[in-house]
């Protein structure tokens, strides 16, 4: 079985770990979000690709959900001693090495897809990890601070401002001119199942879908497309997805997120058991829906979720 998963960072990565366990024989291609990418200290940082790579490769900081296990921060401290920031973005020493290798390869002319493949040669994530595009796409958020509207990089909004200022729009800058990375459209066309994990619907999956050709390829693939809600009990399980959903005019409910993707894209949708009341509404919108436990408290729970997603996919295929 060939499975394509569109993934952001932590929600995508933890689900993928379960999917690998649920379908050990499957060939899994991950299309990763690169809208969160940022240049810091002259280095190219790809937070979502790295979260997937470290999580599946066994190098992630478990409790935090991103970054490296057993991390130290000597470089960051030395930079701070020079007064060189930003101090709000925490890059550890081990993590720095990844960004140095990536930046060096990009400087030598390799596209991000080739760089990602090279980094994965070390981590062996057990999936084929592709960036959504080799072209630069940067998510910006139109925020209001001190009565003034301005666009800031997604990381500045998310990490420095902690999504605590009003956001009026989310714009994947560069997306309209970006091309899907080599292999992305081919993987979608060859897929038996396409899965939207419980990643952020706006700034993770929404950004991937904003790359021209990807949404169309998924809609036309003619195979089951199933998703899992990142919203449980009308709130994100982790983080501040409700803020970016509000910025694009979508309510923070499992049903509203399904409707946001729409029946033109989604065939099946899993909501948490606490949201069982939303099943009828989702089904009325033309999307097959089931309520099952959706908290990835451990690998076993994530594996059960992945199994439910694959079962739902077979149900809509029939
Ligand atoms: P990010 O790029 O690191 O923010 O990660 P993603 O976009 O992949 O995933 C973020 C989303 O994952 C958030 O909106 C969370 O609500 C969701 N999430 C995290 N843990 C869980 C979980 O255990 N269950 C569900 N259903 N969603 C989760
Ligand atoms: Ca992200």
Task: Please tell me if the CB atom of residue 10 comes closer than 6 angstroms to any atom of ligand 1.
Answer: yes
CA distances in angstroms from 239 to 46, 61, 64, 185, listed in the order given: 18, 17, 12, 30
**C-alpha torsion sign, points 148, 151, 152, 158:** positive
Kindly report the average pLDDT of the chain as a whole number.
97
Nearest protein CA to atom 19 of ligand 1, as residue: 11
Question: Can you give the residue ranges of every domain in the chain?
Answer: 2-37+126-133+177-317
Residues 6 or more apart in contact with residue 52 via CB below 8 angstroms: 7, 9, 12, 13, 16, 30, 32, 125, 127, 129
Contact 153, 186 (CB under 8 A): no
Q: At what angle do helices 47-57 and 112-123 cross, to 10 degrees?
A: 20
Does ligand 1 come within 6 angstroms of the Cβ of 204? yes
How would residue 260 be classed by pLDDT, with cut points 50, 70 and 90? Answer: very high
pLDDT for res 117: 98
Average pLDDT over residues 109-137: 98
Phi first, then psi, for residue 150 (nearest 5°) are -150, 155
Q: Is 207 in the pocket of ligand 1 (CB under 6 A)?
A: no
Q: Predicted confidence band at 134 (pLDDT cuts at 50, 70, 90)?
A: very high
* pLDDT tier for residue 155 given thresholds of 50, 70 and 90: very high
Query: Could you tell me the pLDDT band of residue 240, with boundaries at 50, 70 and 90?
Result: very high
Please give the angle made by the CA atoms of 207, 211 and 216, to the nearest 5 degrees: 110
Contact by Cβ (8 Å): 118, 105:
yes
Mutating to test ligand 1, I would choose from 8, 9, 10, 170 the residue with most ligand atoms within 8 A of its C-beta, which is 10
- Per-residue pLDDT of 46-74, as tens digits, reads 999 999 999 999 999 999 999 999 999 99
Is pLDDT above 90 for 279? yes
Residue 35 CB–ligand 1 contact under 6 Å = no
- CATH class of the structural domain 2-37+126-133+177-317: alpha beta
Q: Is 296 in the pocket of ligand 1 (CB under 6 A)?
A: yes
CA neighbor of 36 nearest in space, from 265, 244, 237: 244
User: For 203-280, where are the E strands, in sequence order?
Assistant: 225-228, 231-232, 235-236, 268-271
Nearest atom of ligand 1 to the alpha carbon of 272: 26
* The predicted structure's pLDDT at residue 146: 87
Sign of CA dihedral 181, 246, 281, 264: negative
Per-residue pLDDT, 188: 98
Q: Is the pLDDT of residue 85 over 90?
A: no
What separation in Å is there between the alpha carbon of 5 and the centre of ligand 2? Answer: 15
Alpha carbon of 289 to ligand 2 centroid (Å): 26
Non-local (6+) Cβ contacts of 213 within 8 A are: 179, 180, 185
Predicted confidence (pLDDT) at residue 6 exceeds the cutoff of 90 = yes
Question: Of 230, 233, 240, 298, which is best to mutate to test ligand 1, by the most ligand atoms within 8 angstroms of its C-beta?
Answer: 230
3-class DSSP assignment, residue 45: strand
How much distance in Å is there from the Cα of 8 to the middle of ligand 2? Answer: 5
Q: How far apart are the first and last CA of the chain?
A: 16
Residue 90 has pLDDT above 90, yes or no: no
């Amino acid at each position: 079985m060939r499975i394509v998963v569109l993934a952001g960072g932590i929600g995508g990565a933890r689900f993928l770990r379960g999917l690998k366990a649920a379908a050990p024989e499957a060939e899994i291609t991950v299309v990763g979000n690169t809208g969160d990418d940022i240049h810091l200290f002259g280095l190219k940082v790809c937070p979502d690709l790295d979260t997937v790579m470290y999580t599946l490769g066994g190098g992630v900081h478990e409790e935090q959900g991103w970054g490296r296990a057993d991390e130290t921060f000597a470089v960051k401290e030395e930079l701070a001693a020079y007064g060189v920031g930003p101090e709000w973005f925490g890059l550890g020493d081990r993590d720095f090495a990844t960004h140095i290798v990536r930046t060096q390869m990009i400087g030598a002319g390799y596209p991000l897809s080739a760089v990602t493949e090279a980094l994965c040669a070390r981590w062996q994530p057990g999936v084929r990890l592709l960036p959504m595009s080799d072209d630069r796409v940067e998510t910006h958020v139109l925020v209001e601070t001190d009565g003034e509207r301005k666009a800031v990089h997604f990381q500045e909004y998310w990490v420095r401002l902690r999504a605590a200022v009003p956001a009026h729009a989310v714009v994947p800058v560069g997306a309209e001119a970006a091309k899907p990375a080599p292999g992305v459209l081919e993987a979608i066309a060859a897929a038996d199942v396409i899965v939207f994990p419980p990643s952020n619907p706006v700034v993770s999956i929404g950004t991937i879908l904003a790359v021209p050709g990807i949404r169309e390829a998924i809609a036309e693939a003619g195979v089951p497309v199933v998703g899992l809600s990142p919203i449980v009990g009308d709130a994100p399980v982790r983080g501040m997805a409700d803020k970016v959903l509000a910025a694009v005019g979508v309510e923070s409910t499992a049903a509203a997120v399904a409707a946001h993707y729409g029946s033109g894209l989604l065939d099946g949708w899993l909501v948490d058991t606490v949201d069982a009341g939303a099943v009828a509404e989702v089904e009325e919108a033309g999307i097959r829906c089931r309520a099952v436990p959706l908290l990835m408290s451990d690998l076993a729970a994530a594996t059960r979720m992945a199994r439910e997603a694959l079962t739902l996919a077979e149900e809509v295929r029939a």
